[in-house]
Chains A and B, each alone.
Chain A
Amino acid sequence: MFGYVRPALDKLDEENRDRFQAAYCGLCHTLGRRYGLVARMFLNYDLTILAMLLDTRCDSRACHCLVHPIRKRPCACQSAALDTAADLSVILLWWQLQDGIADHGFWKGLKYRAASLLLRRAYRKACKLRPDFDEGTRGRLDELSRLEQENCASLDRPADCFARLLAQASQGEPDPIRQRVLEQMLYHLGRWIYLVDAADDLKKDLRQGNYNPVALRFSHAEGVLTEESREELGRTLDQSVRMMAAAFELADFGEYEKVIESTVYAGLYLVGAAVLNGTFHQKRTRDKQ
């Protein structure tokens, strides 16, 4: 479900690109320190954004790691916000795996069960540290699976479950104004991620007979949305991105300001367009090569 949220790197100067890199590496190191090597393997861009939203300062140092053994990379130093982001990440990843197990049969579910086994210890620790977040996540996912069973045709209702799930991550913020801003941003980030993911999985879900709200809401031909449906879905995604941008302007995001700005004013639009045009995965494969 994760990996869609990223800044538009071409809109950033080198200093800010380094900050994004530092947040990514910082979260990875924090996961490693708190939860061991296994947890680090699950890191993705969406969790990095969560870390940047929760953290405002970016003291970084250059360091090595297994993936970058030769050239040193900028890496954010340890902070309470990164610790929180790491704990929440483990809980989110765990429930994502459980969802994978529930959605797949024995053979296809094997990889999820294997991953889940590897992450079990980390999850138990994170769960002890953030019991409220874990309970809230479970509650929202239960609501979501009820809607799935009902084959709910609304786009907003299932998206709302996932959006509220992510919005909970703002609960630890002590400043009440900042908390409201984060809650609103995370709500719409969650809504956006859920819908983009549903659009991205459209073909696969139809093939496998899985629940997919985009398929139920919009007209499509064998998993390809009609031009009109694509525009309509694009507009509702845009609306969430605009709400995120409007909220973003109301709080101080310190050192990460430019990175988050490029995410909510360009990055999300680019990824959304790529998913709707069906070029998202092609692009990702190209990036890797």
Chain B
Amino acid sequence: MRDPYEVLGVPSTATDEEVKKAYRNLARKYHPDNYHDNPLADLAQERMKEINEAYETIQSQRKAQNGGGYSQSGYSGAYSSGTYGSYYGADPLYQRVRAAINQGNLNLADELLNSRTDRNGEWQFLKGSICYRRGWMDEAKRYFETAVQMEPDNLEYRHALDVMEGRQSAYQPEGYHAMTTTGCGNDTCSRVCGTLLCINCLTGGGFYCCC
């Protein structure tokens, strides 16, 4: 196992606060939300695991040194992986499609989907997911839009569309703050930013706002 301090990128003399800050920054970077449906999600998940282990190791080491006086205040283990699985969709064909997408077998997933003539919101969503995995972002977005139009209450579809429209806060390193379009300042944006501020209060930071 790599030296936990090296994993977090801090010297072993770092204070508890510095360790926590470094951990949070890395956890935000490799958060499953940033890699949802990403072909490299497995690599990010490994990084996340390594970071969590390093943080836990440092914490328990320090706790032992301080005679148990150290109080654990991080949120290790709070991040879970964001793969498909626990969905309420009961249609067996769509479950097979989801499994194929998870395995990265996009041609099979596409074939299975095309065999279905009745095209509901989930069909549109899954088609969008396949496009997204391929990097076909424009078509992915259009399928997600149709899925949301057909089933406006479905949070999974809405989340996917939010990601495409840049309404989900993606990680940016300190000092960076950019988008191609200057679409900020409109209603959607301030609404999302407002929500993010609330989340910030609840979780003690960790989310970036886009404006």
Which residues of A pack against B, CB within 8 Å?
11, 154-157, 160, 163, 177, 180-181, 184, 187-188, 191, 217, 230-231, 234-243, 245-247, 249-250, 261-262, 265-266, 268-270, 272-273, 276
Give the most central of A191, A217, A230, A245: most B CB within 10 Å. A245
Chain B minimum-CB-distance residue to A164: B135
Q: How far is the CB of A256 from chain B (nearest CB, A)?
A: 15
Q: How far is the CB of A227 from chain B (nearest CB, A)?
A: 10
Given A234-B179, A234-B183, A245-B170, A240-B137 contact (CB < 8 Å): yes
CA distance A157 to B136 in the complex (A): 8
What residues of chain A lie closer than 8 Å to B35, measured between beta carbons?
246
Q: How far is the CB of A24 from chain B (nearest CB, A)?
A: 22
Which residues of B pack against A, CB within 8 Å?
29-30, 34-35, 38-40, 43-44, 47, 131, 134-139, 141, 164-166, 170-173, 175-176, 178-183
User: CB within 8 A of A181: which of B29, B43, B138, B165?
Assistant: B43
Given A217-B138, A236-B138, A273-B181, A180-B176 contact (CB < 8 Å): no
CA distance A184 to B139 in the complex (A): 18
CA distance A191 to B138 in the complex (A): 11
A-B contact pairs, 8 of them (CB 8 A): A155-B138, A217-B138, A235-B164, A240-B135, A242-B170, A247-B40, A266-B178, A269-B178
Is there contact, CB below 8 Å, between A261 and B137? no
Q: How far is the CB of A152 from chain B (nearest CB, A)?
A: 12
Is there contact, CB below 8 Å, between B38 and A238? no
Is there contact, CB below 8 Å, between B166 and A250? no
Given A181-B43, A235-B165, A250-B40, A156-B170 contact (CB < 8 Å): no
Chain B minimum-CB-distance residue to A191: B135
What residues of chain B lie closer than 8 Å to A241, measured between beta carbons?
180
CA distance A220 to B168 in the complex (A): 28
Given A156-B131, A250-B47, A231-B173 contact (CB < 8 Å): no
Is there contact, CB below 8 Å, between B43 and A250? yes
Q: How far is the CB of A179 from chain B (nearest CB, A)?
A: 11
Q: How far is the CB of B37 from chain A (nearest CB, A)?
A: 10
Given A238-B166, A265-B173, A273-B180 contact (CB < 8 Å): yes
Given A239-B164, A249-B30, A184-B40 contact (CB < 8 Å): yes
What residues of chain A lie closer than 8 Å to B136, measured between beta carbons?
156-157, 160
Given A11-B176, A265-B172, A156-B40 contact (CB < 8 Å): no
Chain A minimum-CB-distance residue to B186: A231
Is there contact, CB below 8 Å, between A250 and B44? yes
Given contacts A249-B171, A266-B178, 12 further A-B contacts (CB under 8 A): A156-B137, A156-B138, A160-B134, A163-B135, A235-B164, A236-B141, A239-B166, A240-B135, A246-B44, A250-B40, A265-B176, A268-B180
Chain B minimum-CB-distance residue to A249: B29
CA distance A155 to B131 in the complex (A): 12
CA distance A270 to B177 in the complex (A): 11
Is there contact, CB below 8 Å, between B179 and A269? yes
Chain A minimum-CB-distance residue to B164: A239
